[in-house]
Amino acid sequence: MSALLRVQGLTRRFGGLAAVADVSLAIEPGEIFGLIGPNGAGKTTCFNLITGLLPPSAGSVEFAGRSVVGLAPYRVTEMGMARTFQNIRLFGEMTALENVLVGTHVRLRAGVFGGIIRTPSVRREESAARERAMGLLDLVGLAGAADLPAAGLPYGRQRRLEIARALATEPQLLCLDEPAAGMNESESRELMDLIRKIRERGVTVLLIEHDMHVVMNLCDRVAVLNFGQKIAEGTPAQIQVDPAVIEAYLGRDDGAAD
């Protein structure tokens, strides 16, 4: 009962095909948990199911003891789960700082009147939010890019910006979808350091990754999906030698995703 995220029997069917079939996971607070599997194994679909972007066909998802099935995505974020996207969905025309400020939205209170009539408490809230946003940009190494449009940033920095934006929602669980995609070795190492720092701040991390180097060195535990089903779960060392996992990856190189 202490699991931060408890997923049981999670299933999602499209027509006759089950993209996710009977997946169960329990993620403990403070963990860095990896979700791996060949392309098309259903990992991103799992994310979408967990964060409310897609309703499950069956199964339950409990976050901090409360069911989140059927909740709108913004409510899930309110409850403390945040995510990044496989294809990076930043607000391109907004600056890096503004992107992170959007992340702060859920923890601020100013409404229409507050926006127009800037009472002292609204102004305090805004400036605190900006400080926090700058702090997060600093954490991910983007403080200098605060006023640059997000769409103009190089790929690796965009990924980090997306992480900063998700962190601005003050999540307890951060779900990262292939954060190391397209990164070279030194960028991946910086990313791993960043994720460890995030864990130190008290945020539990669930990540989808193809880069085995990242997964093996970063994750406390790993679950392996194939064809929508969980085929193995354990420490990186354990799943590395699991025959079902080896078979699923037969012939595939580890390394960064395309």
Partner 1 sequence: MSYYLQVATFICISGILGLSVYLVLSTGQLTLGNAGFMLLGGYTAGLLAIRLGWPIWLTVPAGGLLAAVVAVPLGAATLRLRGVYLAIATLGFTQSLVVIANNLTITGGALGLKDIPNLAARLQRFLRGVLAEAPLGLTMAQFANLLVLLISAALLGLAYWLIVRQGKSRVGRAFTAIRTDEVAASAMGINTTYYKVLAFAQGAFLAGVAGGMMAHLTYFIGPNDFGFSRAVEMLVFVVVGGTAVPAGPVLGAALLRALSEYLREAKDLRLIVYGGLMMLMVLVRPQGLLTPGMFAGWRRRLGLGPRRPAPGKGAGA
User: In the chain, what's the furthest Cα-to-Cα distance?
Assistant: 64
Residues of this chain, 217-256, that bind partner 1 according to CB under 8 A: none
Check binding of 44 to partner 1 (CB under 8 A). no
Give how far Cα 160 sits from Cα of 98, 138, 246, Å. Answer: 14, 11, 31
User: 3-class SS at 69?
Assistant: coil
- Where in 94-153 is the site for partner 1 (CB under 8 A)? 94, 97-98, 101-103, 105-108, 110-112, 114-116, 118, 126-127, 130-131, 133-135, 138-139, 143, 146-147
Among residues 101, 52, 83, 38, the alpha carbon closest in space to that of 179 is found at 83
Q: For the chain, how big is the Rg over CA atoms in Å?
A: 19
Q: Minimal distance in Å, beta carbon 203 to partner 1?
A: 13
Q: Which of 109, 90, 218, 93 is nearest to 164 (CA)?
A: 90
Q: Candidates 3-11, 34-42, 162-170, 239-247 — which segment interacts with partner 1 by CB under 8 A?
A: 162-170
Task: Give the phi and the psi of residue 7 in degrees, each rounded to 5.
Answer: -110, 130
Interface mask toward partner 1 for 177-216; x: CB under 8 A: ----------------------------------------
Q: State the residues that interact with partner 1 by CB under 8 A.
A: 51, 53, 72-74, 77-78, 82-83, 85, 89-94, 97-98, 101-103, 105-108, 110-112, 114-116, 118, 126-127, 130-131, 133-135, 138-139, 143, 146-147, 165-166, 169
